[in-house]
Amino acid sequence: MTSRPVSAPITSSRAALFLGIALLLTACAGRGAPTSVPAGSTDTEVTEGHVTTDHGLSGQGLVLVSGDNALTGASWVTATNGYGPVELNRSNGGPAARDGGPLTVGGVTSTRGYGVHAGSSLSFATGSQCRRLSTQIGVDDEVGPRGTVRFVVRGDGVTLHDSGVVRGSDGLRTVAVDISGRNTVQLAVTDGGDGASHDHADWIQPTLHGCEVADSSGPALTPEQFGARGDGTTDDTAALSALFRAMNTQAQPVSFGASRTYRFHRTAPTQFTITRTGAIIHGNGAVLKVIDSESVSNQWYGIRIAGANITVQDLSVDFNRTRRPGTTSSSAQTAWFVDGGSRNVVLRRVRALNSPLDGIYIRDLVSSLPSASATTLPTGIRLEGVQSLNSGRNNLSIVSARDVTVSGGRFNGARGYGDGPWAGIDIEPNRGSDVHGNRNIVIDGAETSDNLGSGIDVAQLDNEGIIIRNHSSHRNSGAALFLSPSGTITVDGLRATTYGGITKAGVVAIVPSERPGATVSLANLEISDTTNTKPSFFQNYAGKVTLNGLRASNVATKTVLGTYQPTTVSNVYLNGVKIR
């Protein structure tokens, strides 16, 4: 189970994600309009010339960091759309905001992108800081084969790419465009020359590559300016507190001393807070470490983030639980806390070490529980190359959030607090309080190993759109994947090795939940070197479960599949021999 901290330490104002203007538009069927249309679309759409101007994400500013930057979740300068508002991470749908379905092109579902309708335009201010734009494009499946559109990428008004006519039957295409020296980049969709009816178009995973961003807001703030020593022995609490206060009021980046260790102790339930829009912290390999004698029995967050367009990189928070008084049942101490109100937050190569409770905790505690709506949930959160190690409960807990991506990283060694679940990654809303749950969570290329519980837990009633890709999971005592579905779960690529006395029903276990009927799709699983008698794959969840590709080798039992509910199974191998 996930934690239930006592209370939210701080409150803040709420901001709606979408402030789109829904226009009342006159129906116009267009040429060749079908008599029936798939769910999620309509056969009475507007033609070009009737556009909705949507400023739902404008005003936040596009904050870039050096390297790659996902445009999804980022704000545009201007946006227009041919039918209803532009949709973030959804298909265009109908005339209202957030009425689209999952972004799906050619049967491939994606959780990141923009759903639009011809003619549409999204403009982003890139400031000549990036070299290349990549994206996938296609007509959304919600209109079947009917849509015909053109995808156009412009830089400073110059056409850099024109897709030609793309039809609903064409599936996904990949586009890469040189945008070097361009101050603005525009993503436009026009009709294919036959009118705009059913022209639902998707920009999938648009990403800026090769960005080079210099700090232009003035000289960086440093802990040493406020009296910190960073020598690993001095108590730098006062200096660090002054640094974070200054960072939240001054438009300057923060730069820690390279590889220095700054010691601190508890002075407030939330020790350090980041709230300023656009805040950038360069950790330079520094460590913020709790002093040895600090009690673990009080609620305490190390660094709390509750703001927009915040980037923190190369900074570690070490809660030092092995050198402090023993953990008690009332302790709730977490190294990193991404709170409600957070938007477009990037944690790059940060580390959470030795937390008494969770290493990284993502949940809306700005709102009173249960939350009245999902508008303040952490949204657009990216963890890139993050490490969370040796936490007392979970190394990463995602409790209530939207659009979280974990790219790479290690979440290993959870054990010690209460009754767990001691997961590497726990995706689990709290029953009765986090009623809006999680949507669109992607775990891609991460590792979860040596946890007392499972590598990844997906549990409770409100998880939808969970994607796990290219995952490594070794020596966990629960299972590699423990799934109790309430919404769609997709697993594509798992390598699990060295499993002994696991406590779950299988190395991969899909078990009943209170919401039967969800779709669970698994592919490309590799399981090897087990010494327990439980199956490699166990399934007794009453839903639409498919397994395409399982290679088991050097496993202790020949019962590779322990399936008790209908499951579509194909391409299963035991020691190289196909058995299904």
Distances (CA, A) of 39 to 22, 199, 312, 382: 20, 15, 41, 32
Collapsing DSSP states into helix, strand and coil, what is residue 383? strand
Q: Are residues 152 and 250 in the same domain?
A: no
Q: Are residues 174 and 249 in the same domain?
A: no
Give how many domains the chain has, as a whole number: 2
Q: Residues 351-376: pLDDT tens digits?
A: 999 999 999 999 999 989 998 889 99
Q: Are residues 228 and 362 in the same domain?
A: yes
Confidence of residue 63 (pLDDT cuts 50, 70, 90): low
Residue 498 corresponds to which tokens in the numbers above? 């060295």
CA quadruple 550, 555, 559, 564: dihedral positive or negative?
negative
Q: Are 361 and 338 in contact (CB under 8 A)?
A: yes
pLDDT at res. 542: 94
Within a domain: 15: no
Distances (CA, A) of 285 to 197, 471, 501: 54, 26, 37
Q: Are residues 562 and 419 in the same domain?
A: yes
Q: How would you class 346 by CB atoms within 10 Å of its CB: exposed for 0-12, middle for 13-18, buried for 19 or more? A: buried
Within a domain: 25: no
Q: Are residues 232 and 132 in the same domain?
A: no
Q: Are 489 and 483 in contact (CB under 8 A)?
A: yes
Q: DSSP character for 221? A: B
Distance CA 419, CA 529 (A): 28
pLDDT exceeds cutoff 50 at 95: yes
Q: Are residues 174 and 237 in the same domain?
A: no
Q: DSSP character for 450? A: S
Instruction: With CA atoms as reference, report the closest residue to 398 among 412, 385, 384, 381.
Output: 381
Q: What are phi and psi of 321, to 5 degrees?
A: -65, -25
Q: Are residues 100 and 236 in the same domain?
A: no
Within a domain: 160: yes
Instruction: With CA atoms as reference, report the closest residue to 319 among 273, 347, 351, 345.
Output: 351
Mean of pLDDT over the chain? 86
Within a domain: 333: yes
* Domain-ending residue, one of 165, 183, 210: 210
pLDDT at res. 218: 63
Distance CA 198, CA 184 (A): 29
Residue 103 corresponds to which tokens in the numbers above? 């972004």
Q: Residues 385-404: pLDDT tens digits?
A: 999 999 999 999 999 999 99
Residue 428 corresponds to which tokens in the numbers above? 């689990």
pLDDT exceeds cutoff 60 at 37: no
Residue 116 corresponds to which tokens in the numbers above? 């639009």
Q: Are residues 513 and 387 in the same domain?
A: yes
Q: The tokens 């648009």 sit on which residue? A: 206
* Domain-ending residue, one of 210, 235, 270: 210
Distance CA 226, CA 147 (A): 60
Q: Are 543 and 567 in contact (CB under 8 A)?
A: no
Within a domain: 77: yes
Collapsing DSSP states into helix, strand and coil, what is residue 503? coil
pTM: 0.72
Question: What's 242's domain CATH number?
Answer: 2.160.20.10
pLDDT at res. 328: 58
Within a domain: 8: no
Distances (CA, A) of 378 to 63, 214, 267, 358, 437: 17, 27, 26, 17, 11
Beta-carbon contacts of residue 480 (< 8 Å; ≥ 6 apart): 448, 454, 455, 456, 473, 494, 496, 499, 507, 508, 527
What is the spatial order of strands in the sheet that 120-125 belongs to? 52-53, 78-81, 120-125, 184-191, 148-155, 158-167
Confidence of residue 322 (pLDDT cuts 50, 70, 90): confident
Q: DSSP character for 143? A: G
Q: Among 191-195, 210-214, 518-522, which range has the highest average pLDDT?
A: 518-522
Which residues on adjacent β-strands are paired with residue 473? Answer: 448, 496
Beta-carbon contacts of residue 403 (< 8 Å; ≥ 6 apart): 72, 73, 89, 111, 112, 379, 380, 381, 439, 440
Within a domain: 46: no
Q: Are 60 and 46 in contact (CB under 8 A)?
A: no
**β-strands 577-578, 231-235: how paired?**
unpaired
Residue 412: in which H helix or E strand, if any? strand 410-412
Residue 299: in which H helix or E strand, if any? strand 299-305
pLDDT exceeds cutoff 70 at 344: yes
What is the mean predicted confidence (pLDDT) over 61-67? Answer: 68
Q: Are residues 157 and 246 in the same domain?
A: no
Strand ranges (DSSP E) for 73-147? 78-81, 87-88, 103-105, 108-110, 113-117, 120-125, 132-139
Residue 73 corresponds to which tokens in the numbers above? 């979740």
> What is the domain extent for residue 366?
223-578
Confidence of residue 111 (pLDDT cuts 50, 70, 90): confident
Question: What's 153's domain CATH number?
Answer: 2.60.120.1060
Q: Residues 442-473: pLDDT tens digits?
A: 999 999 999 999 999 999 889 999 999 999 99
Q: Are 199 and 117 in contact (CB under 8 A)?
A: yes
Distance CA 406, CA 447 (A): 10
